[in-house]
Amino acid sequence: MWKGRFEEDQSGLLKAYGESVGFDWQLHREDIRGSIAHARALAAAGILTQGEFEKIEAGLRQIGGEIAAGTFEFRRELEDVHMNIEAALTERIGDAGAKLHTARSRNDQVAVDFKMWLRTACGDLVSKVRGLQRSLVGFASRHSAAVLPGYTHLQRAQPVLFAHHLLAYVEMLDRDAGRLADAAARMDACPLGSGAIAGSTIELDREAVAKELGFSKPTANSMDAVADRDFACEALAAIAIMGMHISRLSEDVILWASAEFGFIALSDRHTTGSSLMPQKKNPDIAELARGKAGRLYGNLMALLTVMKGLPLTYNRDMQEDKEPVFDSVKTASDTLVLFAEMLDGASLCGDRALGAASDPLLLATDLADRLVEGGVPFRKAHEIVGGLVALAGKKGVPLHKLADAEFAAASPVLTRKVVDAAFDLESALAARKAPGAPSPANVGRELARWKKALGA
């Protein structure tokens, strides 16, 4: 380790407290790519000879191969992935390696490495979001005609197609994919060349470096470039919102798989038993996913809290940026893949779902709509049907089984023919044909649209 202005060795406690190679080693591919691009720019500027550049490139690629093979030894006393790779390179090729850090700081080095890593991670997460969407569309397609109750306040509300319910989550996940793609698009400016804070008096071709590393342009302000972690905060926010959506889906799965609901059955491969109760079959994947949403929120809040009070530019606090991001990306990635696998193995208990959806109270609003069609103002129709619901409850009969005279007493519009039509489940679903509503025709078109969009 270079001492420079320091006369004493660093405290052993500080070394242990400040090292980050235990987690930032994950940036090794990006660090090597960035270093090769930087070395190429140094050669173009005449700081390196062509021979020196070739030694650096070959040495870095060899180190990269060793890291990939698991044979490279990271040394904690060298603090981070950047110093480990540079020190190993210098040990192997001598002075040429020591020239690599010319016109570069670890501040812009880590910024470009982290941005490249996270940009790739966002693309990978989008692919896995699409995988979960395909599983949802597949589950919906296998039961495209199935009906179950829709709920508000966790009370039965109105009947919907099971496929319509699942497609609601497909829509949510599509917004998640869009947010991740947007976040990645805003990672398109290359910070390398910004130096520690104010660039360098050695002018390098930043446009060429940016292009080589897959960026469309270099960053415009050197201070912002090394101080910026917006890209990480934005990605964590997108992941946290996605975690919220998966948590809501988890809650539906947990409820539907319970004995009280009994709408779906999960495969043995994706459930667990109890250490005490032999009858149990627990929806652990959904429960874990629901719990991990809190972890994703915590990672976002951790990084926002780290960044909120920092003056420009780089501060060592920012070393705390990577672990929350690495953890959220892995947690979200694992959850998406496992949840998709669980849904692929799940089945719908159609008769149980249909039985619950056949509760005549779910069509009380349809009865009110028939009154409206007969000229009754909606607020009055709402009151009339509410009174009939109360009457049926007092008499202990289903709503549609009230006597003809009782319907007629509530309103002359409510003939037996009108009442029977209002309580026909198939007709009620078919009538919900406004854009976005769950008629079989609408849902069929939406399934076809999503299959085409997802290649499912």
Give catalytic residues, as residue numbers. Answer: 153, 274
* E-only strand ranges, 162-299: 189-190, 217-218, 264-265
Rounded CA gap, 409 and 387, in Å? 11
Rounded CA gap, 288 and 278, in Å? 21
Helix (H, G, I), strand (E, B) or coil at 161: strand
State the DSSP H helix or E strand holding residue 150, giving kind and residue range, or none if neither: strand 147-152
The answer to whether 259 touches 279, Cβ cutoff 8 Å, is: no
Rounded CA gap, 21 and 413, in Å? 77
Number of Cβ within 10 Å of residue 400's Cβ equals: 18
Rounded CA gap, 393 and 218, in Å? 70
Rounded CA gap, 55 and 52, in Å? 5
Q: What are phi and psi of 278, to 5 degrees?
A: -70, -15
Number of Cβ within 10 Å of residue 3's Cβ equals: 9
Number of Cβ within 10 Å of residue 277's Cβ equals: 8
Helix (H, G, I), strand (E, B) or coil at 220: coil
Tell me the pairing of strands 264-265 and 347-348: antiparallel
CA 85 from centre of chain: 32
Rounded CA gap, 142 and 400, in Å? 32
Cis preceding linkage at 335, omega within 30: no
Long-range contacts of the stretch 56-59 (C-beta < 8 A, 24+) = 56/89, 56/93, 56/96, 56/97, 56/100, 59/89, 59/92, 59/93, 59/97
Q: What six digits make up the tokens of 288?
A: 């874990």
